Amino acid sequence: MSDQDNNSPAKVRLDKWLWAARLFKTRALAKTAIEGGKVEIDGQKPKPGKEIGVGTTLKVRQGWDDRTMTALKLSEQRRGAPEAQQLYEETEESIRERQRLAELRKMQSAGPFSSEKPNKKDRRLRQAMKGRF
């Protein structure tokens, strides 16, 4: 075991851990997300000062995505991305669901006119849909 493992605390505030794990850019953003109901611990809405331990299951909503993860390590300090990714493990089901939803959003944004350059008829249809005719 390294010195960092020996010096890791037994419990850490939730907002500090989310910040240290680089899920949010600042502690203030982590606190706002927690208070806004975007973070759940074992199915319950916590407070920013809630202390978490190793093995805690978290559900974090970031933008369009929901991530379900387990805390593997605790840290109160924000470090580099490779070290931050070792603080948690996202479930396989969560990863698959995020990828599936990302693919659906990608296909939805492409729309029916994405395959080739529109011809005159397609341009008129687009203008009609926008209410210009």
> What confidence tens digit (pLDDT) does each residue in 15-31 have?
999 999 999 999 999 99
3-129 maps to which CATH number? 3.10.290.10
- Torsion, Cα of 105, 46, 22, 5 (10° steps): -140
Which two tokens mark 131? Answer: 């209410």
Domain ranges of the chain: 3-129
Q: What is the Cα–Cα distance from 80 to 49, expressed in whole angstroms?
A: 24
What's the confidence (pLDDT) of residue 125? 86
β-bridge partners, 105: none
**DSSP code at position 80:** -
Which residues of the chain are under the pLDDT cut of 50? 1-4
Which two tokens mark 14? Answer: 């939730």
pTM of the model: 0.74
Count Cβ neighbours within 10 Å for each residue of 1-19 and write b for 16 or more, e otherwise. Answer: eeeeeeebeeebbbbbbbb
Is the distance from CB of 74 to CB of 7 less than 8 angstroms? no
What's the confidence (pLDDT) of residue 1? 40
Q: Which amino acid, 13?
A: R
